[in-house]
Amino acid sequence: MASSLGGADKLLNPFKIYSLPVESWINHTIFFLVDRLRPFFQAIRFPFSLVLDGIEWVFLAIPPLILLPIIGLVVWQLAGRRIAIFSIVALIVLGFLGVWQETMMTLSFMGTAVLFCILIGIPIGIACASNYRIDRVVQPILDFMQTLPLFIYLVPIVMLFGIGKVPGVIATLIVAIPPLIRLTTLGIRQVSKEVVEAAIAFGSTKRQVLWEVQIPLAMRTILAGLNQTIMAALSMTVIASMIAVEGLGMMVLRGTASLNIGQASIGGLGIALLAIMLDRITQAIGQGNHQVSWQERGPIGFILSKVKNKKAASTYSGS
């Protein structure tokens, strides 16, 4: 019976007769790219590895007892005292858990990825806001980047760039950059048309309109985008460790693979603490009280007010 139906079976299922050789097309393309463009991709590596090494060197070379107060002061200035205290405590906890070095590696890896997200994403976002044609090209690409499963582009990235931190950063970039681009575009579009008109009517160049009006007024939205970007980047740490990126993510990966739940948990806790810390910091910057200028808050404000008081006191006692 089965054999008598063989012909009909073939007729009813044409897919058995022919399928598009897309698989080999893609393979050929990738191999071709890897072959011919290796110097090009090596050149792309260069700025990434330069920044990565620089940041990592700073985080790892400075001893914790000096780095901690520096981080504390910077966070205090940017985000306020409460978040600064939280950050310090979180980092001290991680230090005593014995993962200081891993934390610093993850932090510098993140820092590099986010820095490139900013350098690339904000200009693209601005371009999209001011030019509908660019926007129409970029939007579908962003959709694509956000919906495509990670592993699909992890492989070609590894083929093109090899393994290690640079391809890790690039993979992270692809996941993390879309929200920043989208929200930059949104923020700039949201600026009142009349306010932009006013800036032009008083003789501003395009660049002046951008820096004097559009970017300051879009800043809140851009920072909301940055917050999302950082969170997305952090979510990549474990996956990036699959292509040999060291740090907290690697602990989770190794721990899980070797059923060392303790190691995996500590790595996970570290990532969670970093996530909370960075989330709070960027949110606080975004919602920052714009009535108070940077000279009046944080450690700088603290010192300036002390100096002023002293001056006032000395003039008072002098007179």
Partner 1 sequence: MVNAKPKVRIEHLIKIYGEKPRAALQLFREGKSRDAILQVTGHVLGIADVSFTVNQGEVFVVMGLSGSGKSTLIRCINRLIKPTSGHIYIDDEDIALINEERMREIRLTKVSMVFQHFGLFPHKTVVENVAYGLKIRGVEKKQRSQKALETLEVVGLTQWAGYLPASLSGGMQQRVGLARALATDAEILLMDEPFSALDPLIRREMQEELLRLQKKLHKTIIFISHDIQESVKLGSRIAVMKDGYIVQIATPEELITNPADNYIRAFIQDVNRAQVLKTGSIARQIITFTVEEDSPQTALEKMLYQNLKQIYVVRQGFPVGVVSRETLAAAIPEGREDITQLMQADFPQVNADTTLENIFHLYQQELPIAVVDESGKFKGVVEQSDVFASISSLT
The alpha carbon of 232 is separated from its chain's Cα centroid by a whole number of angstroms, namely 7
Closer residue to partner 1 in complex, CB, 212/279: 212
Here the tokens at position 190 are: 């949201």
**Nearer to partner 1 among residue 36 and residue 290 (C-beta):** 290
Report residue 276 as tokens: 């909370």
Q: What is the largest CA-CA distance in the chain?
A: 116
Q: Is residue 292 a contact point for partner 1 (CB under 8 A)?
A: no
Residues near 46 by beta carbon (within 8 Å), at least 6 away in sequence: none
> In terms of CB distance, is 36 or 207 closer to partner 1?
207
Q: Which string of x and - marks every residue 24-53 that binds partner 1 (by CB under 8 A)?
A: ------------------------------
Nearest approach in angstroms of CB 128 to partner 1 is: 19
State the DSSP H helix or E strand holding residue 107, giving kind and residue range, or none if neither: helix 100-130
Q: Which two tokens stand for residue 299?
A: 């450690």
What is the C-alpha to C-alpha distance for residues 273 and 199, in angstroms, rounded to an integer? 43
| Residues in contact with partner 1, shown as a per-residue x/- string from 213 to 252 under the rule CB under 8 A | x--xx-----------------------------------
Q: How many residues bind partner 1 (CB under 8 A)?
A: 19
**For residues 125 and 226, what is the distance between their CA atoms, to the nearest angstrom?**
12
For partner 1, the closer CB: 15 or 202: 202
The C-alpha atoms of residue 105 and residue 56 are separated, in whole angstroms, by 6
Q: How far is the CB of 123 from partner 1 (least distance, A)?
A: 21
Answer yes or no whether residue 290 interacts with partner 1 by CB under 8 A.
Answer: yes
Q: Nearer Cβ to partner 1, position 192 or 295?
A: 192
H or E element that contains 312? helix 298-318
CB of 74 to partner 1, least distance (A): 24
C-beta closer to partner 1: residue 96 or 202 = 202
Query: Would you say 264 and 251 are in contact if contact means Cβ atoms under 8 Å apart?
Result: yes
Q: Which residue in 225, 211, 260, 257 sits closest to 238, CA to CA?
A: 257
Residue 126's alpha-carbon distances to 133, 177, 318, in angstroms, are: 13, 14, 55
- Going by the DSSP 8-state scheme, the letter that residue 15 receives in this structure is G
- Interactions with partner 1, residue window 187-216 (CB under 8 A): 192, 194-195, 197-205, 208, 212-213, 216
Amino acid at 184: T
- Cβ nearer to partner 1, comparing 213 with 230: 213
Does residue number 83 form part of the binding site for partner 1 (CB under 8 A)?
A: no
Q: How far is CA 133 from the centre of its chain?
A: 26
Site residues for partner 1 per CB under 8 A: 192, 194-195, 197-205, 208, 212-213, 216-217, 290-291
